[in-house]
Amino acid sequence: MREPLEPLQSWVEGANGPHGFGLNHLPYGAMRHQDTAHLCVRIGEMVLDLHAAAKDGLLDSLATEVQRACQQPVLNTLLALGSSAWIPLRELLTALLAEDSSGATKTRLDWFLHFVEHCEIVLPIAPRGYTDFYASIDHARRVGELFRPDAPLLPNYKHVPIAYNGRPSSVVAGGTAVRRPWGQTRPVGGAEQPGFEPAAALDYEAELAFVMGAGNELGSPIAIGEAREHVFGVALLNDWSARDIQAWEYQPLGPFLGKSFATSLSPWITPMAALEPFRVAARARAESDPLPLPYLADEGDEEEGALDIAIEVRISTMASRAAGLAPMLISHGNTRGLYWTAAQMVAHHTSNGCNLEPGDVLATGTVSGVERESAGCLLELTRNGTEPVTLPNGEERAWLQDGDEVTLAGWCERDGVAPVALEECVGRVWSSR
Ligand code: CA
């Protein structure tokens, strides 16, 4: 762990406090502006319009290409420039928004600050790739127990970071309603034909997404020791999953339509720089576990390659909202228990020469822990729908029903450091019946 840093104070009203969006955070988003979007950065309950600030000359001390990148509708151009672009940008924004900024600067910046509740926030990245890993060994083991009680973990698990290629076109900003998908399901009751109907076994998966920076050329793997600087930031991700569609289609090639109907990504990207104080040692491997192959092994990564991010899942239903209840907590996990680190995912993804591109999304897979209450999806919590959970308001759920709204929240805290809150990732299920 790094030494605690003095919490930074900002002159922006309401920016200093325990809300997790202080000057030490500064996540990036994009705000709808006429028929396009302006990149922006969040401070407390305010949003700084980066596009307008750059146009006004407030970013003039940065390289021209960085100023131009700030005037694009998505972060991809900035990400392509690499950390030598986004580190000075963050330093400048921190200085501009800091308490000791000059009066003249504050007056100029004030023009470009808006209340977040007055802005329509959209996804600040246009991912061309989305890969979903399976990095939680506790998730892998608990899911494995449901289907292969004798050998829950497959023999490859501790050697290779398992993943599938997801669908970037259906990655949507958190807050977007999620349509219950129709799909083929296993024939039941002696039927000859499979069904084709709205998925009955709709589930969520609580995950952390890593957003890639410059990426790599096709044919040039990223070494594990360099992988960290290739990751720009993180956001919460909900990998919605239709278990009944998935169960019928996944053999032999893996998930397809059971997952590609929607993936919700929180629209504020937290830069890795804001998470430095919350780096922790990678999960220790058991003595009996195999050592990772050399291309997945790095001392620095073992020492601080994991992140201490608590993740909570809350649910609200039509009934709970009608009763005026706040969203109800159903599970809570932490990314520090993952078996594979972000650097290992990047190194593995590119180890065959595959190219990662700016804005690509690499997700951890469901974040679960050893305890049942830290299970990050209903598949685990309800043992594949056979043991429904009772919600705090008395309702039962085996799977999600229409009108259910799932909220993922992420939180980092540590003594002596201002906390960082990951923007919530919200999605409500609607039916197309
Ligand atoms: Ca997943």
Active site residue 349: no
The CA 365 to ligand 1 mean position distance, Å, reads: 4
The CA 133 to ligand 1 mean position distance, Å, reads: 7
Give percent of the chain above pLDDT 90: 97
**What per-residue confidence (pLDDT) applies to 5?**
56
The residue-averaged pLDDT of 232-250 equals: 97
Tell me if 87 sits within 8 A of 271, measured CB to CB. no
The residue-averaged pLDDT of 224-237 equals: 98
Q: Which of the residues 25, 38, 139, 348 is marked catalytic? A: 139
The CA 373 to ligand 1 mean position distance, Å, reads: 18
Per-residue pLDDT band at 432 (split at 50, 70, 90): confident
Q: How confident is the model over 379-405, as pLDDT tens digits?
A: 999 999 999 999 999 999 999 999 999
The CA 135 to ligand 1 mean position distance, Å, reads: 10
**What per-residue confidence (pLDDT) applies to 399?**
98
Sequence-ordered alpha helix ranges (H) in 251-381? 272-275, 299-304, 318-322, 342-350, 378-381
The CA 12 to ligand 1 mean position distance, Å, reads: 38
Instruction: List residues, by chain if needed, whose CB lies under 5 Å from ion ligand 1.
Output: 132, 205, 239, 365
Per-residue pLDDT band at 6 (split at 50, 70, 90): low
Q: How confident is the model over 20-56, as pLDDT tens digits?
A: 999 999 999 999 999 999 999 999 999 999 999 999 9
Cβ count within 10 A of residue 290: 9
The CA 260 to ligand 1 mean position distance, Å, reads: 11
Q: How confident is the model over 181-205, as pLDDT tens digits?
A: 999 999 998 899 999 999 999 999 9
